[in-house]
Amino acid sequence: MKRRHFLSSFAAAAIGCPLIGCAPGSPKGDDQPSETNTPGQAAGGAGEQSAVDYSQKKKLVIYFSLTGNTRHVAEQTAKLLGTEIFEIVPTVPYPTEYDVVVKQAKDEQDRDFRPEIVSLCDRLPDAEVVFLGSPCWWGTVAMPVMTFLERSDFAGKVIVPFMTHGGSKFGRTLADLDRFCPKATRLKGLTVLADDVPQSDPEVQRWLASLGMITAEA
């Protein structure tokens, strides 16, 4: 179900956007980091470098994944951090047929629909730094992630986003996260192209090291 260039076929036709790397409605060139962050520049809520030592903070990985790409990055992140991992699970599973789920997600986004999820995360209140992973769905986080964000309290926490995608990178995600979690600090995150996920483990390690989340690169 992977699509290297999500918007290359019917989606591009649907939105009249013949592009790779531009999500529907996404800001152009604004707040869209490259695939990887430059070490030492990855931290800082408003794009500012941070002197905070995150290595000793309580961390948690929270993610949603439909086809396994984001799960792979989430599991690798949790493994390297040595922290717990929580999966956001929709109460009603999404269809597995690609075109069907793509259309359903577009419809849900157009209606600003919030799918029910099986549970919130009871470990969230204790976490200081939350790694939040989602596939890019129509230019932003998947709708179950929106449900989770709206029903959880991220005040005072640090959010570190990561996203797998078919060409849009973060799209509108970062602006949306700031809107959903206005009292959280957001660090720059990591985007991984769907096709690159199987080879992304070293990139994940460099990303965490650049943020000061792990002390040394193995």
Ligand X SMILES: Cc1cc2nc3c(=O)[nH]c(=O)nc-3n(C[C@H](O)[C@H](O)[C@H](O)COP(=O)(O)O)c2cc1C
Q: Give the closest residue to 98 by CA, choosing from 167, 8, 1, 3.
A: 1
Angle, in degrees to the nearest 10, between helices 143-151 and 173-180: 30
- Which of 138, 154 has the CB closer to ligand X? 138
Smallest separation (angstroms) from ligand X to the CB of 66: 3
Q: By C-beta, is 16 or 125 nearer to ligand X?
A: 16
Contact 154, 89 (CB under 8 A): no
**Phi, psi values for residue 145, rounded to 5°:** -70, -40
Minimum distance from CB of 178 to ligand X (Å)? Answer: 19
**C-beta of 23 vs 130, nearer to ligand X:** 23
The upper half-sphere exposure of residue 98, i.e. CA atoms within 13 Å in the direction of its Cβ, equals 11
Q: Least distance from C-beta 56 to ligand X, angstroms? A: 30
Which pair of tokens denotes residue 172?
A: 């509108």
Element (H, E) at 130: strand 129-137
- Residue 138 Cβ, how far from ligand X at the closest point, in Å? 5
Residue ranges that bind ligand X, judged by CB under 6 A: 2-3, 6, 23, 65-71, 101-102, 105, 135-139, 164-168, 194
Query: Given the complex with ligand X, which of 70 and 147 has the nearer CB atom?
Result: 70
